[in-house]
Structure 1
Amino acid sequence: MIPVFDGHNDFLQRVVASGPPVWLDGDGTGHLDLPRARAGGLVGGFFAIWIPAPLNPNDAAAVALMENPPFAMALPDPIPFAEALPHAFAQAAALKALERTGTLDIVTSARGIRAALAGGRIAAVMHMEGAEAIPDSDGLHLWHAAGLRSLGPVWSRPTAYGHGVPFAFPSSPDTGDGLTDAGRQLVRDCNALRIMLDLSHLNEAGFNDVAALSDAPLVASHSCVHAVSQSSRNLTDRQLRLIADSGGLVGLNFASSFLREDGRRLPVEGFSTMLRHLDHLLAILGEEGVALGSDFDGALMPRDLADAAALPALLAAMRDHGYGDALIRRIASENWIGLLERTWGE
């Protein structure tokens, strides 16, 4: 079985709600747990800390809106640090609890990834999606000491650091202002600490600012192609070329609404749409710049990719499409590990 290293999941919220047994044994819900990870060949990935929004794309009202484009959801209001921190702390503690089960390592280096894989444990990167729980540079250093190695300055709402894209279709990602002064300092601090900066959810002006400031490879951990699906969350060819020029990477998002050409929040049927996005990414980023970023437990999955256990079906579709085993291995895991080695410097 070809191993998979995944660029994004939102599983930690389920652990906060249910405890570590939801990881060890599963509860029949969601997209991810240890048994399904083993069944699908999932060996590691980015476990996101995310502050719940009062209205998010999985709520009933938003789902009804997104099922019938065109739509343009308003950006949620900013979330204050004092409100965000308890949520972030609980999810970080949940990831630490998973580590104590002996089935998962929180990895902070490429060496750590390889050691976890060699020991048969899941290699988990602590990621924060939206920096509401980081008040300043001192706070970032504290989170780094706790194991944070990947950070998206925004989710799809504003923070002290920048502006996210709204959920809208059809829409350009050019939806607002760039990074704030604090956001520019955040980029410099992340570069100094070797924390990977994640551009998924950041608007185009903020993306441009990171591209101009950062000395690390540019990364969008869970995004799709705007030329195929005109969602505000998807990346334009110009953005993809900037990522390619930096030696960076894009992880293909499995969210049906970002994959579908019509933008509807309905399950994608089969794998042809996903393969069209992958073909486009490969044409611009090359074979070392494309990976996977599922968004498990955070989005509506394709019908034939309902959870982590179904990952081999996606890899089989790549093979049937004409991708060789070497390319499939790069997309499935090797490109993420190589990118982290280049970013973390270890």
Structure 2
Amino acid sequence: MIPVFDGHNDFIQRVVAAGQNGTKVWLEGDGTGHIDLPRAKQGGFVGGFFAIWVPSPAGPNDDDAIKMMQNPPFNMPLPAEIPHDQALPHAFEQASALLSLERTGTLNIVKSAADIRDSIAADQIAAIMHMEGIEAIRDMDALHLWYAAGLRSLGPVWSRPTRYGEGVPFAFPSSPDTGGPLTDLGKALVRECNQLGVMIDLSHLNEAGFSDVAKLSDAPLVASHSCAHAISASSRNLTDRQLQVIAESRGLVGLNFASSFLREDGKRLPLEEFDTMMRHLDHLLGFLGEDGVALGSDFDGALMPRDLSEVSALPVLLEAMAEHGYGDTLVRKIASENWINLLERTWGR
């Protein structure tokens, strides 16, 4: 079975929601969601980015928002910024949940590419502690504290503003060119992350913030879970200009599995078949080359395609790539090798 290393999941939310049964949800599954250990093993999932994310009071999974997103055009206003003092307890709770999974002996919180390879060899899930929207990080001292706790990847924003910059709204059709640039603190964050070796995730960042990171960062540019705007004109997807900038940095894009960001009509309905996903992959490969494309599922955070409903279905996607004409070497690169090599270059080890 070809191993898969994935660029983004929101599984920790389910662990927290399950309370005392959180580790049981991981070890045995509960019949819901997209990820648990048994299905991960079945699908060849060897690890990925496990996101710490603070929810807004209202979000894209509310009934009214779903109805709106099923009938484009739509443009949902950005949620309000969440104050640090409200965000921090949520982030601590999720970080603690990830640590509880590590204590089961089935998962390892990795801090280097060597850790990833060692975890895979030991048949443990290699988990990167990632933060999506960093309201819980107040300043550079707090960044160093989170780094000491294991954080190795962060996205400055989700779809709302932070003290570092602005995210894009849920909007279709829409350009990602909405809102202003990084703040001064956001620019300092880029420099500090480069110094520490923390990966900066461009997914959900607006056009102006993207450009600021590109100017300031000396690391490969990365969007962990994004699709091609040329195929699906969502504000969350990457334009050809952005793809070219990422390519020039020898960076990487992980293909998002979320149906509404894949579908050409932008509807929040399950994607049918794999043809559209292959078109996105072809487009990304055309700009980024065979070393710059990977996977970023958004499992447990988005509506999946009909034939890719959860993690155990990953081999079906890889089979579709092979049937599309991708050779074994390219499939293996997209499935895991490109992520591990990118992280080695970003983290320096």
- Shorter chain as denominator, the TM-score bin is over 0.9
Aligned residue in 1 for 2:9:
9
Find the aligned partners of 2:76 and 2:17 in 1 and give their Cα distance: 27
Matches within 5 A, 1:96-111: 96-111=99-114
Whole-angstrom distance in 1 between the partners of 2:188 and 2:92: 23
Match of residue 268, structure 2, among 253, 265, 269: 265
Partner of 2:243: 240
Structure 1 CA distance, aligned partners of 2:328 and 2:125? 23
Paired AA for residue 111 in structure 2:
T
- Partners of 1:61 and 1:88 in 2: CA distance: 27
What does residue 66 of structure 1 align with?
69
Match of 1:326 in 2: 329
- Mapped to 2, the partners of 1:56 and 1:38 lie a distance apart of 31
Quick one: distance in 2 between partners of 1:56 and 1:314? Answer: 29
CA distance in 2, matches of 1:265, 1:112: 37
- Once the two structures are superposed, residues 236-274 of structure 1 have per-residue CA deviations (whole angstroms, 9 ceiling, x without a partner) of 000000000001000000000000000000000010000
Partner of 1:24: 27
Q: Which runs of 5+ in 1 are unaligned?
A: none
Aligned twin of 1:95? 98
SS at match of 2:291: coil
SS at match of 1:128: strand
Structure 2 counterpart of 1:130: 133
Q: CA deviation at 1:171?
A: 0.2
* Structure 1 CA distance for aligned equivalents of residues 212 and 181 of structure 2: 6
Tell me the secondary structure at the aligned position of residue 48 of structure 1: strand
| Mapped pair 1:228 → 2:231 | yes
Inter-partner Cα distance in structure 2 for 1:335 and 1:308: 19
**2:169 aligned residue:** 166
SS in 1 for 2:224: strand
Once the 2 structures are TM-superposed, how far is the Cα of residue 77 of structure 1 from its aligned partner?
Answer: 0.1
Residue in structure 1 matching 2:198, options 191, 195, 198: 195
Deviations 1:286-324 (A, max 9, x none): 000000000000000000000000000000000000000
1:14 aligned counterpart, secondary structure: helix
Letter in 1 for 2:134: A
What is the aligned partner in structure 1 of residue 184 from structure 2?
Answer: 181
Q: Distance in 2 between matches of 1:221 and 1:278?
A: 14
Cα distance in 2, alignment partners of residues 311 and 57 from structure 1: 25
Q: CA deviation at 1:58?
A: 1.1
C-alpha displacement at 1:55, in angstroms?
1.5
Q: Does 1:253 align with 2:256?
A: yes
Letter in 1 for 2:152: R
- Distance in 1, matches of 2:304 and 2:60, equals 13
Structure 2 unmatched runs, 5+: none
Percent identical residues:
75
CA RMSD of aligned residues (A): 0.4
In the other structure, the counterpart of 2:85 is: 82
Deviations 1:175-224 (A, max 9, x none): 01010000000000100110000000000000000000000000000000
d(CA) in 2 for partners of 1:230, 1:115: 40
Measure the CA separation in 1 of the matches of 2:29 and 2:64.
28
CA distance in 2 between partners of 1:70 and 1:17 (Å): 33
- In the alignment, the residues of structure 1 paired with residue 63 and residue 243 of structure 2 have an alpha-carbon distance, to the nearest angstrom, of 33
Identify the residue that residue 121 of structure 1 maps to in structure 2. 124
Out of 325, 339, 344, the position equivalent to 2:342 is 339
Quick one: which amino acid aligns to residue 9 of structure 1? N
Amino acid at match of 1:14: R
- Residue 169 of structure 2 aligns to a residue whose secondary structure is coil
1:156 equivalent in alignment to 2:156: no
User: Structure 1 length normalisation: TM-score?
Assistant: 1.00
Q: 2:42 aligns with which of 15, 32, 39?
A: 39
Give matches, 1:296-335, under 5 Å: 296-335=299-338
Displacement, 1:42? 0.2
Displacement of 1:57 after TM fit? 1.1
SS in 2 for 1:138: helix
Mapped to 2, the partners of 1:272 and 1:306 lie a distance apart of 16
What residue in structure 2 maps to residue 216 of structure 1?
A: 219
CA distance in 2, matches of 1:273, 1:28: 28
The one of 104, 115, 120 equivalent to 1:112 is 115
SS at match of 2:307: coil
